[in-house]
Amino acid sequence: MASIAKTAQAGTLESSDVMITVAPGTQGSGIIIELESIVLAQYGEDIKIILEKTVKDQGITDIYIKAVDRGALDCTICARTLAALSRAGAVLKEEII
Amino acid sequence: MKNAIGREIPETISGIAAIKPFAGAFTAVPEMARQAPKVKIIKPTDRKLVDSLVEVFKKIPVTDGMTLSFHHHFRNGDGVVNMVLATAAQLGLKNLTVALSSVFPVHAPIIDHVKNGVVTGLDTNYMSGPVAQAVSKGLFDKPVILRTHGGRGRAIECGQLKIDVAFIAAPAADEYGNLNGVEGPAACGSLGYAFPDAQYADYVVAVTDYLGEYPLSPISIPQTRVDYVVKVECVGDPKGIVSGTTRITKDPVGLKIAETAAKVIQATGLIKNGFAFQTGAGGASLATAAFVRKMMEKDSVVGSFALGGITGYMVDMLESGLFKKLMDVQGFDLEAIRSLSTNPNHLEIGADFYASPFNAGCAVNQLDVVILGATEMDTDFNVNVVTGSDGVIMGGSGGHADAAAGAKVTIIVANLLRGRLPIIVNKVLTATTPGETIDVLVTERGVAVNPLRGDLKEKFLAAGLPVKDIQELKQLAEKIAGAPKAIKTGENIVAVVEYRDGTIIDVVRQVEG
C-alpha cells in the first residue's frame, strides 16, 4: 500500500505534544510535509526526518502530513504519526500497544 | 574584541559611547564623581500643582533630544509612559530617549513614537511584549541599552544615564510633591526603582490621580526633589499593577526542583539565625521559599532579611517571625502594599541601595542565598535571561546579575528541558549574568556545581544530593531531546547588554523578519 485511505488526525496542541494530520497523497506525490513548530530553528530538520522515517517504515510513499508541534520529543512524534496512520486506514506493520 | 567571558564585542557600536568590554564581575574601578542635578529655587509663594502634562512640558520646557525617565512599578497596568509620550508627540517633540526601568506589553505605543521620530533611544533593564519583539527586528537605528536594576542606579548616579526629566508615576501625592506608593487607587507599594531618577534628574514631575492633604505621609519621594505635580484622571489600571495573591506552583517538576533547591541551601549550612534570602515570585523560585520556610520552622531559625521584589508569601514569613526585616524595592501584590504601609520592619529601598555596585555598599552584598531563573545556561555557567529560544528579546536582567554578584550562594532553578529545549547549551545566545557569579544549577534531574565552588560540591555530596557534572546533565538532556541546532541571527546589533559595572557583557543581534 503506497498511500492511506482517508484523512485522519492524532495528538493535541498541548505543550510537549504534536498534532499530526495525514491525508492521502496522489499517486507519485511523494511524502509532503508541512511543519509548524515552536522549536523549528533548533529541531525542524530532526522532526521532518522522524516524520518521513515513520511513514516510510510503514511502506507509505505518497502522503500529505501536517504537523503542528509544541516541542514534542521524537518518541511522541513517532507515536502520534502511527496513531494518525492507523486512523487513516493504514494497516500498521507492528501493533501499537 | 573578546571580553572576559569570550563574547565578541565590536570595538565601536554606533550610538553608544566608549565601549568597555566586561573584564570580570569586580574588576572595573570607578573613576568619577557623582552626577549633580540642576540646582533650583522654589519661593514661598510658588505652586507646583499643574493642570496638565502639556503645561508641564512647556514650563520645564521639554525640548528635542532630551532623556525622559520612568519607573515600572505599575508594570502592565501603567498609563503614565503612554500619556507622557503622547503629549510629547502632540507637541511635535523629536529625538527623545526613553529611560524606562522595564518595558511591558502595555507600552506598545512606543513603537509608533519610534517610527514617527518622537523617540529614538531606549534605555531599560527588562522588556517583554510588542516593543521587545519590534526591537529584536531592528525598530531603533541605535542599539537599545539593557542594564541591570543596580546598573541603572549606578548609571544615573555616575552620570552615564543623564536624565533631563523624570516622570514619577505616583499612586499618591500632595500638592507640594511628597509622594508614596501605598495610597490611592493605583497603589503599587514600594517606589524604589524611581529613587535614583528622583535624586539625579534635572527636573522631576510627579503624575498622580490621588492628591492627599499636605504633608502626605509616609513620604517615599520627598518634596525637596519634586518640581511639578500633575493630577490626571487615571495613572493606571490596578488589575495590571498588582495581583491578588501569588500562588505557589503545583507543577510536580517545579516542586521537585524547589525541594532539591531547598536541600541545596540547607547543605550550604546558611540556614541559621541571621539568614538573608532573595527569591523571585514565579514558578519554582517561590516554591523553594516554601520548602526553606519549613526548614526554618523546624529548626527555629530566625532570618535577618528577605530582599528584592516582595510578595505576600514573604510578608507572611515576616509576620510569622521567620525574617526580622523585608527590604522592598518592588511590591507584587496587595499584601506587600499593606505590609509596607503598616509594618516598620518592612523597609522601602531604592534601586541604588538594593543593587548599585558603585556606592558604599548595596543590599545584595549582604545576601546569603539568592534563587534565580534562566532561559539558557552554558557549560561555563553564564546565564541568558534576555533572549528566548527564537532569539527574540523576551526579558532582561532586572536584578538577576546584581543579586548573583552579591549573594554568597547563587542558585539557578530551571527545568533541564523546557518543552523540548535543553536548558544547558555550549554557548548561551546572549550572556546576561557571568558564570563566575553563578554557583549552582538545580534541575529535576540533578544538581551542577560551578567548578569554582569545590567547597560547595563537597558539602552537597556529603548531604547526599544528586550532584552531576554540568556536561553530564547537558548530555542527559540531549539524549532525551536531541542536540538543538544553534539559531541564526543577523549582524545588526539591536541591543547592548551592559553588566552592572557599566562594561559590555554581550550584544543582541537582529533576528530575521
| Distance between B402 CA and the closest CA of chain A, angstroms | 31
Taken in order of first residue, the domains within chain A and their CATH numbers are 8-87 (3.30.230.10)
**pLDDT at position B473, please?**
98
Helices (H) and strands (E) in chain A, counts: 2, 4
List, run by run, the mean pLDDT of 10-residue segments along chain B (513 residues): 95 87 96 93 96 97 98 96 98 98 97 98 97 97 97 97 98 98 96 98 98 97 98 93 76 95 98 95 85 97 96 95 97 94 98 97 98 96 95 96 98 94 96 98 97 97 98 97 92 97 97 76
In this chain, the answer to whether the domains covering B51-241 and B252-487 adopt an identical fold is yes
pLDDT band at A97 (very low <50, low <70, confident <90, very high): low
Partner residue opposite A73 with nearest CB, options B391, B481, B488: B481
Q: Do A41 and B389 touch (CB under 8 A)?
A: yes
Partner residue opposite A15 with nearest CB, options B391, B419, B486: B419
Every domain of chain B and the residues it spans: 51-241, 252-487
Segment A34-59, tens digit of pLDDT: 999 999 999 999 999 999 999 999 99
Q: Do B419 and A39 touch (CB under 8 A)?
A: yes
**B309: helix, strand or coil:** strand
Residue of B nearest to A70 (CA): B419
Q: Which CATH class is domain B51-241?
A: alpha beta
| Distance between B289 CA and the closest CA of chain A, angstroms | 27
Residue B221, amino acid = I
Segment A11-25, tens digit of pLDDT: 999 999 999 999 998
Find out whether A22 and A63 touch, Cβ atoms under 8 Å. Answer: yes
Region label for B128, one of left (φ > 0), alpha (ψ between -120 and 50) or beta (otherwise): beta
- Return the C-alpha cell found at A34: 508541512
The number of beta carbons lying within 10 Å of the beta carbon of residue B442 is 27
Q: Is the C-alpha dihedral spanning B91, B97, B103, B105 positive or negative?
A: positive
Asked if the ipTM is above 0.90, the reply is no
**pLDDT at position A85, please?**
94
Query: Pick from B204, B149, B166: which is nearest to B68 by CA?
Result: B166
Answer whether A89 touches B (CB < 8 Å).
Answer: no
Find out whether A18 and B419 touch, Cβ atoms under 8 Å. Answer: no
Find out whether A35 and A69 touch, Cβ atoms under 8 Å. Answer: yes
Sheet of strand B424-425: strand arrangement:
B383-384, B376-378, B424-425
Segment B82-125, tens digit of pLDDT: 999 999 999 999 999 999 999 999 999 999 999 999 999 999 99
What DSSP character marks residue B365?
A: G
Instruction: Give Rg (Cα) of chain A.
Output: 12
Report d(CA B221, CA B225) in Å as an integer: 7
Report d(CA B145, CA A48) in Å as an integer: 39
Q: Which CATH class is domain B252-487?
A: alpha beta
Report d(CA B83, CA B386) in Å as an integer: 27
Query: Pick from B188, B196, B225, B66: which is nearest to B208 by CA?
Result: B188
Which of A42, A45, A47 is best to mutate for the B interface (most B CBs within 10 A)? Answer: A42
- Return the C-alpha cell found at B83: 500619556
Instruction: Give Rg (Cα) of chain B.
Output: 22
Three-class DSSP labels, B396-457: CCECHHHHHHHCCEEEEECCCEECCEECEECCCCCCCECHHHCCEEEECCEEEECHHHHHHH
Answer whether A26 touches B (CB < 8 Å).
Answer: no
Q: Do B421 and A70 touch (CB under 8 A)?
A: no
Q: Do B485 and A43 touch (CB under 8 A)?
A: yes
Find out whether B12 and B19 touch, Cβ atoms under 8 Å. Answer: yes
Report d(CA B430, CA B413) in Å as an integer: 18
Q: Do B485 and A15 touch (CB under 8 A)?
A: no
Longest Cα separation, chain A: 35
Query: Pick from B404, B13, B360, B14: which is nearest to B157 by CA?
Result: B360
Answer whether A49 touches B (CB < 8 Å).
Answer: no
Q: Which residues of A touch B376 (CB under 8 A)?
A: none
**A92: helix, strand or coil:** coil
Which of B420, B426, B476, B485 is best to mutate for the A interface (most A CBs within 10 A)? Answer: B420
Residues of B with CB under 8 A from a CB of A: 389-391, 418-421, 480-482, 484-488
Beta bridge partners of B447: B442, B467
Q: Do A41 and B481 touch (CB under 8 A)?
A: no
What kind and span of H or E run contains B371? Answer: strand B369-372
Report d(CA A37, CA A19) in Å as an integer: 10
Partner residue opposite B419 with nearest CB, options A16, A46, A74: A16
- Return the C-alpha cell found at A37: 513548530
Give the number of beta-carbon pairs within 8 Å between A and B: 40
Q: Do A41 and B485 touch (CB under 8 A)?
A: yes
